[in-house]
Amino acid sequence: MRAIVQLWLLPCRQMPLLGVLAHLLWLAALACLAWIRPHADGAALGAGLVAMGSWFWHMGLGAALRGACQPENFLLPGFRRRLAGLGLADAAVWVGVPAALALALGVPHAMLGASLLLLAAAMGFAMGVERWISLLFWPLLVLAGWMPGLVGAIVHDALGSPLTLPLLLLTAVLLLRLALHPMLQITDRPPDASPLEGLSLGRSTAADTATRRSALGRRFEGWFDAIAQRALALALMRYREEPSAARRRALVRRLLLPHDNAAALVLRIAIMAVFAALYVVVAMHRQHFNATVVGAYAVLMALARFPQIGRGMQRMRPNLADLYLTLAPTTRTQYQQMLASALLVLVPIGTLTALAYTALGIVLTRADQPGLMLLVTLIVATGGGLVALGVHLVGPQGTVGRQLVNAAVLAGTMATYWGGAWLVDALGYLFGGGLLALITLGFGLGVWFASQREYLQREPCFDAPLA
């Protein structure tokens, strides 16, 4: 039992906020079911709450258990049996208790509700374990968007059909099978990527855990890897031809940021274009797109790259000892300067990415003011990138602190984007744009230079982080 409790505690320890919120939703749902009269209304509200809580909780549980299912852990006595025990206990809490209460209170369609809860839990769990499973729901969204009448009729008929219950249960079992099969399989661990890189398109996550990639993901990874190897070879050749400081810096960049080169950037934007086009098709039923939202989202995606720098530089400390000896700097400051200069390339890359995403958004949404959007994106993404790079380079070492800093940077950038769009719209490209550039770039450069100064004063650290 203690082992099951420890497994249950895993997502709570990794995502305490999620654990608290999900279980509060569960409690609230039971309270709605018990106290709201008539019980059918309470059950409808409660089912929505518990389904939402269950979906989030099981996404976290799936992600946590995926991390725990390492080959070494399968050697623990009865590990699989205890996982099954956790599954049963979890189903009893999230499905059994609400269903039993609903049955006791005589709520109509209680069994159907229970099977829907099971489906929500299975869906969340499967998405937590294998991210690609969320793609399976896109066709449903497309259908709901294009033919809402048909979907309504299907739901109406399903409520009265005796086949609905077994079909829902079958779907839940299928989802669990899709998630559990790879999770319980012992496979080769892929070699670690650079801690400064994440290969997801937004590149906000990933490198902290060993990722399992789908066949498509592995193919993308192969392309990026081939591009990175070629870029490094090219940089080496150029450096050998003429070993200048700039080429030396480029070489260090190819080592630290293997996927931040021109070809990889083009490939990333091309892949993003495919997915964005697909998304537009999926969301076609929405009649109006707010182009400014699309632009803001593009900036947000470009900035999602920077938190990886703080995390990655910390994780990379032991690796950097080798680079330190290889570079043989005259002073420690010189070494820190080399790293800071190498990382500065992320700002123009972020700006270019944001511009490309914005241009894509402009095309897909047929935006009215493409010039305005591109100008605001150019200024805000550059200023935001400078701030993000600066604060993540010298910012807090702890996860919570880093997340808070990141949230503040993103919120500030978004506010600047909206404010900037309004300013340029109101004052025109020259005055509005000039004022926005003055404020945003002035602030961005100020933060970057201050952060850089602080970083240069620090002693290089090569000790592995404690956690």
Partner 1 sequence: MGTLVPFPVQPAAQAATPAPVLRVGGLRKTYERREVLCGVDWEVPAGRVIGLLGRNGAGKTTLLRCLLGLVPIDAGAIELFGATMAEPGGERLHRVGFVPQNFELFPWMKVSSYLDFTAAFYARWNHALAGRLLQEWELDPKQKIGRLSQGQRQKLAIMRAIAPEPDLLVLDEPVASLDPQARRAFMAELLALMGGPGKTVIFSTHITADLERADADIALLRDGRIQFTRPLAELKARLCHAVLNRPAGWSTPPALAGAIKSRIAGTSLHLLLEDVPPERLHQLAKDEDASLRIEMPTLEDLFVELA
Residue closer to partner 1 by CB (options 214, 319) is 319
Q: Least distance in Å: CB of 402 to partner 1? A: 22
Whole-number minimum distance, CB 192 to partner 1, in Å? 4
Quote the least distance from Cβ 139 to partner 1, whole Å: 36
Instruction: Write the DSSP string, 67-101.
Output: HH--GGGGGSTTHHHHHHHHHHHHHIIIIIHHHHH
Whichever of 223 and 279 has its CB closer to partner 1, that residue is: 223
What is the 8-class DSSP label of residue 147?
-
In whole angstroms, give the CA distance from residue 415 to residue 380. Answer: 10
Residue 247 CB, shortest distance to partner 1, in Å, is 10
CA 307 from centre of chain: 11
Nearest to 196 by CA among 324, 356, 339: 339
Minimum CB distance to partner 1 smaller for 138 or for 324: 324
- The residue assigned the tokens 């944001």 is 354
Residue number, 28 or 327, with CB nearest to partner 1:
327
Of 38 and 188, the one with the shorter C-beta distance to partner 1 is 188
CB of 206: closest distance to partner 1 in angstroms? 13
Closest to partner 1 by CB, 327 vs 405, is 327
Q: Which is nearer to partner 1, 36 or 232 (CB)?
A: 232
Least Å distance, CB 202 to partner 1, is 20
Q: Write down the least CB distance from residue 265 to partner 1, Å.
A: 18
Nearer to partner 1, 246 or 450 (CB): 246
Cα–Cα distance, 115 to 93 (Å, whole number): 14
Q: Which of 48, 63, 171 is nearest to 124 (CA)?
A: 63
Evaluate whether 335 touches 327 at the Cβ level (below 8 Å).
yes
Instruction: Output the smallest distance, CB 252 to partner 1, in A.
Output: 9
User: In terms of CB distance, is 250 or 301 closer to partner 1?
Assistant: 250
Q: Which is nearer to partner 1, 210 or 262 (CB)?
A: 210
| 114 within 8 A of 47, measured Cβ to Cβ | no
Question: Do residues 193 and 213 lie in contact, with contact meaning Cβ atoms separated by under 8 Å?
Answer: no
Dihedral class, residue 204 (left if φ above 0, else alpha if ψ from -120 to 50, else beta): alpha
CA end-to-end span of the chain, whole Å? 27
Comparing CA positions, the residue from 294, 282, 289 lying closest to residue 146 is 282
Instruction: For the CB of residue 229, give the shortest distance to partner 1 in the complex, in Å.
Output: 6
Sign of the Cα pseudo-torsion (213, 215, 221, 225, in order): positive
Nearest to 444 by CA among 306, 268, 293, 271: 306
Ranges of beta strands (E only) in 320-367 are none
| Side-chain half-sphere CA neighbours of 272 within 13 A | 24
What value, to the nearest 5°, has the Cα angle with vertex 68 and ends 67 and 74?
135
- Closest approach, Cβ 391 to partner 1, in A, equals 24
- At its nearest, how many Å lie between partner 1 and the CB of residue 328? 4
- By beta-carbon proximity to partner 1, the closer residue of 83 and 256 is 256
Q: Which residues bind partner 1 (CB under 8 A)?
A: 190-194, 197, 228-229, 232-233, 236, 239-240, 243, 248, 251, 255, 258, 318-319, 321-322, 324-332, 335, 459, 462-464
Q: Which of 384, 348, 370 is nearest to 294 (CA)?
A: 370
Supply 435's token pair.
Answer: 């004022």
| Shortest CB 316 distance to partner 1, Å | 9
> What letter represents residue 91's amino acid?
A
Nearer to partner 1, 160 or 191 (CB): 191
The total of other beta-carbon atoms located within 10 Å of residue 10's CB is: 18
Q: Are the C-beta atoms of residues 377 and 342 closer than 8 Å to each other? A: no
- What Rg, from alpha-carbon coordinates, does the chain have? 25
